[in-house]
């Protein structure tokens, strides 16, 4: 049994009628599917970031010369950016490498985060 109105049974074992407008059920199902897709993506991203940060020797896509290596940036390269995403998130990052389709942030300890440029709403240098 779920939590929808159709799952509740009346006194005479009759289902309580659904009073929602037509089409709402389909929209709710689409929203639930998107929400679980986003949650799954966040879990996968968190797992990858954990491996890259804490267990770099286990990550197959990092070149051997970058596993466990700390990146050293000159003061000229150290810039702080305020990044606003279309999803509503805001974060601050430095040591940024910008290409045509991706933005990569690398911290001083070697953590690498890459996002697509079309996910970024606004990026301001501070």
Q: For each of the domains in the chain, give its residue range(s) and CATH number, in order of start.
A: 1-68 (no CATH), 70-126 (2.30.30.100)
Provide the token pair at 45: 């991203």
Higher pLDDT, 84 or 41: 84
What pLDDT is attached to residue 54?
Answer: 65
Provide the token pair at 93: 């990052």
3 state DSSP class of 120: strand
Residue 86: count other Cβ atoms within 10 Å of its Cβ: 10
Average pLDDT, the chain: 67
Distance CA 81, CA 92 (A): 6
pLDDT digits 0-9 by tens, 12-70: 555 555 565 666 667 667 666 666 666 667 777 777 777 666 666 655 555 555 545 44
3 state DSSP class of 61: coil
Distance CA 102, CA 120 (A): 10
What pLDDT is attached to residue 83?
Answer: 82
Higher pLDDT, 115 or 75: 115
What pLDDT is attached to residue 1?
Answer: 47
What pLDDT is attached to residue 71?
Answer: 46
Across the range 66-87, mean pLDDT stands at 63
Residue 108 has pLDDT above 70, yes or no: no
Higher pLDDT, 76 or 92: 92
């Amino acid at each position: 049994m779920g939590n929808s109105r159709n799952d509740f049974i009346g006194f005479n074992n009759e289902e309580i009628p659904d009073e929602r407008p037509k089409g709402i059920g389909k929209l709710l199902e689409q929203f639930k599917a998107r929400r679980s897709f986003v949650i799954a993506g966040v879990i996968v991203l968190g797992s990858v970031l954990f491996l890259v940060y804490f267990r770099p020797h286990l990550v197959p896509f990092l070149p051997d010369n970058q596993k466990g290596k700390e990146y050293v940036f000159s003061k000229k390269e150290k810039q702080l950016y305020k990044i606003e995403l279309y999803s509503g998130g805001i974060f601050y990052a430095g040591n940024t490498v910008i290409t045509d389709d991706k933005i990569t942030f690398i911290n001083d300890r070697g953590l690498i985060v890459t996002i697509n440029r079309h996910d970024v709403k606004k990026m301001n240098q501070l």
